[in-house]
Amino acid sequence: MTKILVILFLAAMALFMWGCAGAPTPSPAPPTALAILSTFSTATVGEIYVQQLTAAGGTRPYTWIVTAGAFPNGLTMTPSGLVSGIPTKAGDFTLTIQVVDSALSVVQIQTKGKIDETP
């Protein structure tokens, strides 16, 4: 009878110790793939233009750059993806924009923009 009590005691202690250690902590879910969500809305010559480019996934913060082409005169983009300014000439433009996240994932797209004449 004593041997059975000792075995039960040891089994209970083992279960208690395993339970105190807890189940392994699950790893956080990996971030979703980085993606660019926005393109340029139409701007108008002589009018203030402001647009925040957006991305999703990856690991924030994001850094934005133009890798090909250039913004038309009067428009600029900050590293945070804020495009702003007052365009000076109507026309279409094409840019390749790139976003890099803090884990150094990179995505780029070629996109077009349009600047209309003043109505």
Any idea where the domains of the chain sit in the sequence? 35-116
- Domain 35-116 in CATH 2.60.40.10? The answer is yes
pLDDT at 118 over 70: yes
- CA distance linking residue 109 with residue 46, whole number of Å: 27
d(CA 64, CA 83): 10
What is the reported pLDDT for 26?
A: 78
Mean per-residue pLDDT over the chain, rounded: 88
pLDDT value at 28 more than 80:
no
> Per-residue pLDDT tens for 57-85?
999 999 999 999 999 999 999 999 999 99
